[in-house]
Amino acid sequence: MITKQIRKWLVSGFLILLASSTVSAQTFVFTAIPDEDETKLVERFRGIADYLSEQLEVDVRYIPVKSYAAAISAFRNNQVQLAWFGGLSGVQARALVPGSEALAQGVEDQAFYNYFIAHKSTGLERGDELPEGVRGKTFTFGSKGSTSGRLIPEYHIRQRFGEAPESVFSRVGYSGNHTRTLRLVESGTYEVGALNYKVWEKELEDGNINTDDVRIIWKTPGFPNYQWTIRGDVDARFGEGFTDRVRQALLDLDDPALLESFPREGFIPASNDDYEPIRSVAKDIGIID
C-alpha cells in the first residue's frame, strides 16, 4: 500500500521534472534580493519574467534565493544576468562584476526613506530626529545585507549617538526581511525596528498593521535605493543591443498590476554613479572594504 503510494509519488515527481523547463544556454535568468515575504516575491517576479519574455523574445526565468549574498553571488557567478538589487547589494555586486551597470530604478528609489518604528509599550512618540528614548531598548534590523534594513538605519544610529548599535541598544537582532521586522516589532519581540517605507505603506494599505501596537517614531532623510542591474557581457551572449532592449522593456513597463506589486509608479533610467552616496556610507561603516 505504502510502496504503491511512494511509487506514485516517484512517477509524479518524474513527470514534474520532465515538464519543468530545463535551463538552456539561451535562458535569460534573473533574481531579486529576498527583502519581503517569499510568496509575494515569487508572484511579482513571475509576472516580470512573463513580461520580459514577451518583450525580449527569449526565455526568461526568475529564481528565488534565500539571502542577499546569494543574489549577489548568483549575479557574480553569471548564473543570473539581471537582478533587482537594493542600493547596497547593487553597489557590492557591481564592484564584483566589472562592466555591469545599473539599468533602471523605481521613480521612488531616487529618494527612498526609512521608518524607525516602535512597539506601543515603549511609549515613544514620533519626532523630527531619532528619539533619545530608543537607547537601551531592543532593536532589530532587517537583513544583514539590506540597504534600508541595515545600512541606512545603522548610519543614522551612529550619527545620532556616536556609538555602534550594539552599545546603544540592549539587544540587536536581524529579522531577515522588512515584513518580519514589522511583525516582530508589532508583536513586541523587539521594541524598536527600522524598515523600508514602501513595505510599511503597502502593509498599512492592505490592512495588515495594527496601528495600536506599533507606530512610526522617525522618518529618515532620502537616499537612493533599489535598481535593476545587468551584467556587462549579456550583449555578447544574447545579441548586440540586448542591454538596451532590457532597459527599454523595463522603462516601458506600464502594467498597473505589476507596478503595484513592487510597488512603484514606474521605472526611470539609473546609472552606477547614482549610488555613490550608498558606497561611501557602506565604506564608513565598514560593510565594504
Helix (H, G, I), strand (E, B) or coil at 179: helix
Residue 65 touching other proteins (CB under 8 A) = yes
Residue 58 touching other proteins (CB under 8 A) = no
The one segment of 60-68, 123-131, 154-162, 268-276 that binds other proteins by CB under 8 A: 60-68
Q: In the complex, what is the shortest distance from the CB of residue 59 to other proteins, in angstroms, rounded to a whole number?
A: 13
Looking at the Cβ atoms of 68 and 223, the one nearer to other proteins is 68
Looking at the Cβ atoms of 138 and 227, the one nearer to other proteins is 138
| 44 Rama sector, left if φ>0, alpha if ψ -120 to 50, beta otherwise | alpha
Contact pick of 100, 114, 138, 229 for other proteins (by CB under 8 A): 138
Q: List the interface residues with other proteins, window 183-202 (CB under 8 A).
A: 183-184, 187-190
The one segment of 45-53, 70-78, 196-204, 226-234 that binds other proteins by CB under 8 A: 70-78
Contacts of 99 (CB under 8 A, 6+ apart): 231, 232, 233
Distance CA 13, CA 76 (A): 32
**Cell numbers 539590506: residue:** 146
Residue 73 touching other proteins (CB under 8 A) = yes
Q: In the complex, what is the shortest distance from the CB of residue 65 to other proteins, in angstroms, rounded to a whole number?
A: 6
Q: In the complex, what is the shortest distance from the CB of residue 288 to other proteins, in angstroms, rounded to a whole number?
A: 7
The residue ranges of DSSP E strands in the chain, in sequence order, are 28-32, 60-62, 82-85, 101-106, 114-119, 138-141, 171-174, 192-196, 214-219, 227-230, 267-269
Looking at the Cβ atoms of 79 and 271, the one nearer to other proteins is 79
Contacts of 244 (CB under 8 A, 6+ apart): none
* CA triple 195-34-51, angle to 5 deg: 115
Residue 211 touching other proteins (CB under 8 A) = no
Q: Please, are residues 134 and 126 in contact by the beta-carbon 8 Å criterion? A: no
Distance CA 92, CA 145 (A): 10
Q: In the complex, what is the shortest distance from the CB of residue 198 to other proteins, in angstroms, rounded to a whole number?
A: 18
Distance CA 41, CA 135 (A): 34
Sign for the pseudo-dihedral over CA of 200, 203, 205, 209: negative
Cβ-based burial of 66 (10 A; exposed 0-12, middle 13-18, buried ≥19) = exposed
Contact pick of 81, 92, 114, 147 for other proteins (by CB under 8 A): 92
Tell me how far the alpha carbon of residue 138 is from its chain's centroid. Answer: 24
The one segment of 99-107, 168-176, 192-200, 204-212 that binds other proteins by CB under 8 A: 168-176
* Residue window 2-21: x/- pattern of binding to other proteins, with contact defined by CB under 8 A: xx--x--xx-xxx-xx----
Q: List the interface residues with other proteins, window 22-51 (CB under 8 A).
A: 22-23, 25, 29, 37-39
Note the residues at the interface with other proteins (CB under 8 A). 2-3, 6, 9-10, 12-14, 16-17, 22-23, 25, 29, 37-39, 63, 65-70, 72-74, 76-79, 92, 96, 138, 143-145, 171, 173-174, 176-177, 179-180, 183-184, 187-190, 287-289
